């Protein structure tokens, strides 16, 4: 990805002609979390919009920029350090945090992270791309947005 490339990593993706789903993992050591907020880091809303913009650019195949946001609902806070993941049986499994209050590195690879789904993707005659985006994990929906993007 581009602007936020060190902020998150795409773990996997799946797309078809109507939608795309990306699994991402946040970088808990990114400098944004030192300021937003110290000791209680959360993903800024503008970064959530940026993630959707970048993933939509990947799906469409060229760089896009936000033209407008019709509706955005921040339903739950996204933190860079999850404390649980989905086990092989489908049950939530609590993972003990390390001395720093963070997951041990080997446990982070077990966490599925955040799923970003892009759907209702349409292209207008004016070249504007409209879509719905949802950010969630296995148990929580974090953000829903309707966004319009233009070629950059």
pLDDT confidence of residue 40: 87
pLDDT confidence of residue 113: 82
Instruction: Quote the CA–CA distance of 147 and 152 in Å, as a whole number.
Output: 15
pLDDT at residue 18 tops 80: yes
pLDDT 10s digits, 102-133? 544 444 433 448 999 999 999 999 999 999 99
Mean per-residue pLDDT for 140-152?
Answer: 95
pLDDT: which is higher, 52 or 82: 52
The chain-wide mean pLDDT, for the chain, equals 83
Mean per-residue pLDDT for 57-76?
Answer: 95
pLDDT confidence of residue 92: 45
Mean per-residue pLDDT for 38-44?
Answer: 90
Residue 64: burial class (beta carbons within 10 Å; 0-12, 13-18, 19+): buried
Q: Is 66 helix (H, G, I), strand (E, B) or coil?
A: strand
Q: pLDDT confidence of 80, banded at 50, 70, 90?
A: confident
pLDDT confidence of residue 82: 58
| Fold held by 8-151 | Thiol Ester Dehydrase; Chain A (3.10.129)
In sequence order, the 6+-apart residues with CB closer than 8 A to the CB of 119 are 18, 19, 131, 132, 133, 134
Mean per-residue pLDDT for 74-98?
Answer: 61
pLDDT at residue 98 tops 70: no
Q: Locate the domains of the chain by residue range.
A: 8-151
β-bridge mates for residue 133, sequence order = 118, 145
Instruction: Quote the CA–CA distance of 50 and 45 in Å, as a whole number.
Output: 9
Least confident of 16-25, 33-42, 123-132, 140-149: 33-42
């Amino acid at each position: 990805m581009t602007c936020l490339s060190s902020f998150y990593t795409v773990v996997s993706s799946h797309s078809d002609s109507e939608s795309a789903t990306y699994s991402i993992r946040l970088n808990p050591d990114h400098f944004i979390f030192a300021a937003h907020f110290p000791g209680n880091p959360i993903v800024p809303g503008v970064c959530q919009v940026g993630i959707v913009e970048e993933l939509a650019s990947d799906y469409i195949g060229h760089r896009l920029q936000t033209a407008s946001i019709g509706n955005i609902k921040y339903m739950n806070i996204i933190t860079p350090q999850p404390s649980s993941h989905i086990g092989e049986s489908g049950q939530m499994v609590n993972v003990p945090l390390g001395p720093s209050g963070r997951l041990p590195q080997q446990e982070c690879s077990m966490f599925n992270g955040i799923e970003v789904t892009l759907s209702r993707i349409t292209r207008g005659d004016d070249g504007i791309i409209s879509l719905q985006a949802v950010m969630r994990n296995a148990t929580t929906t974090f953000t829903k947005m309707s966004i319009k993007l233009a070629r950059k």
